[in-house]
Amino acid sequence: MANLLYQQIEMLSREKHIEPEVVVSAIEDAMVVAARKFYKSEEDLRAKFNPETGQVDVYSVYTVVEEVTDPKKEITVAEAKKKNPEAEVGTEIVAAKPTDVLGRIAAQTAKQVILQKVREAERDTIYNEYHNRVGELVTVIVKRAEGPDLIVDMGRTEARLPKREQSKLETYNIGERLRVVIKMVDRAAKGPQVIVSRADASLVQRLFEMEVPEIYDGTVQIRFAAREAGERTKVAVASRDKDVDPVGACVGMKGMRVQSIIRELRGEKIDIIPYNEETVAFAQKALSPAKVTRVQIIDPETKKLEVIVEDSQLSLAIGKKGQNVRLASKLIGWDIDIKSEEEKQEIEEQMTALTAPTTPLTSLAGVGAKTIEKIEAAGINSVEKLAGMTPEQLMEIPGIGEKMVDKIYQAVNRFYESGTEAAAATGEAAASGEAPAEGAEAVAEAAAEGETTETAESSETAEAVEEAPAAEETSEAALEATPANDEGDPAKAEEAKS
């Protein structure tokens, strides 16, 4: 009977992969709990398993002291010498407790304690074995489903395949064999504490190590990998041997190696990219299959890049729902901002317009103050902006006619012909009162040329006269000096005066 009990302990130990001493210790603890529950005592109880007889003995332990303060745990020297003549202060005296009276309830309690202790020992064993194997590729069998998660059999223990670690392209059946990587070992989990993954980027790396001998022996290295499970993976590879092409080694003859991995991942696309130490060159390769025109580092501290592509390559560089640029950003570890050539040119023109120097309208010689007010009221406040307007746009401004548009263009042409410094000097002169005189001379010339022959032209001349009130006398003098044929026509003279 004794041999049979110990054989059962050894068999349980082999099955749970724990030491027999752990099971024996669990049995002794269970007997102590059962005895304490039966005797309802606070005594210091201990148990001892005898592998020869198969008997578990329970003892009460007393400490020998000079003066007893706790009779349930202490004993005097005199009392101790009755049981052990060699007893002295500090030694322990044991007294056997009968175990044959414990009964069924105590046995049930002992059983629960043993199971709990064995389970804890098993979890510790699993943790110690697997926590150093994180990232390792293992083959599992789908055992059952628990909600969206799957429980898989690893052979020695069960593992959990959570929903977030499953590939979007895949569906799993009970009994199916899968290749997974060990993602983590959760010691505090209630159920299986080993978490495995089919969505982690390390799965692709482990598969490449199995299929590509150059990666397995270290000749070719996978430097970085970025993955969106079920859709696309980007892998950056580098070679330690200049004679070995890292991309060619991973692709294999006629693509056999990479196709084997794609089949394992059930059709997931894989981009194999040569690694480059230079960020700009690496970013250009990372955005493949799109062709990049140029790459510019915006901020090296926050790791920001600006990538310019042709207009036809913009959608390809961004990818479906931004997938290509997102994976490229994960792969190189930089934030990527993609722009097309047209978009970049528009932004540069806008920035140039914002930072370009502007010249006030008062620098224009020959344009009156009231006309400038009308132009500025339309939102035009610089000579550069005025020069870029068409005649039709200028005539849309209230109070600006066709003749005034011509004068404005002449003033702008004089401004650019004379140069910036000369124009500034002219502007100062206009501010000191010279401009009204020039405006008056222009009105006089217009009157001499016969601008007042039509009603619209006469009203425009009147506006010009209003802008230069200080020159009214000059205009009248000019009218008096007109040829004699105008003097003979009182109607024309009166119209010109108006």
Q: Residues 124-149: what's their mean pLDDT?
A: 90
For residue 355, pLDDT beyond 70: no
* Whole-number pLDDT of residue 354: 55
Each residue's pLDDT tens digit, 48-95: 887 777 778 888 888 888 887 877 788 888 887 777 777 788 788 787
- For residue 285, how many other CB atoms are within 10 A of its CB? 19
Q: Residues 272-294: what's their mean pLDDT?
A: 90
Provide the pLDDT confidence category of residue 473 given band limits of 50, 70 and 90: very low
Q: Residues 150-154: what's their mean pLDDT?
A: 93
Provide the pLDDT confidence category of residue 427 given band limits of 50, 70 and 90: very low
Question: Residues near 356 by Cβ (< 8 Å), separated by ≥ 6?
Answer: 384
**How deeply is 157 buried, as exposed, middle or buried, from its count of CB atoms within 10 A (0-12, 13-18, 19+)?**
middle
For residue 122, pLDDT beyond 60: yes
CA distance 470 to 430: 13
CA distance 309 to 307: 7
Mean pLDDT for the chain overall:
77
* Whole-number pLDDT of residue 495: 41
- In the three-class reduction of DSSP (H, G, I as helix; E, B as strand; rest coil), residue 238 is classed as strand
CA distance 146 to 161: 10
For residue 151, pLDDT beyond 90: yes
- pTM higher than 0.85: no
Provide the pLDDT confidence category of residue 352 given band limits of 50, 70 and 90: low
Closest CA to 327 of 231, 202, 221: 231
Closest CA to 287 of 228, 346, 337: 337
CA distance 195 to 58: 42
Provide the pLDDT confidence category of residue 474 given band limits of 50, 70 and 90: very low
Provide the pLDDT confidence category of residue 379 given band limits of 50, 70 and 90: confident
* Whole-number pLDDT of residue 245: 93
Mutual angle of helices 369-377 and 402-418, in 10-degree steps: 100
* Whole-number pLDDT of residue 198: 94
For residue 455, pLDDT beyond 60: no
Q: Residues 115-129: what's their mean pLDDT?
A: 85
* Whole-number pLDDT of residue 232: 92
For residue 250, pLDDT beyond 90: yes
Taken in order 288, 292, 296, 298, the sign of the CA dihedral is negative
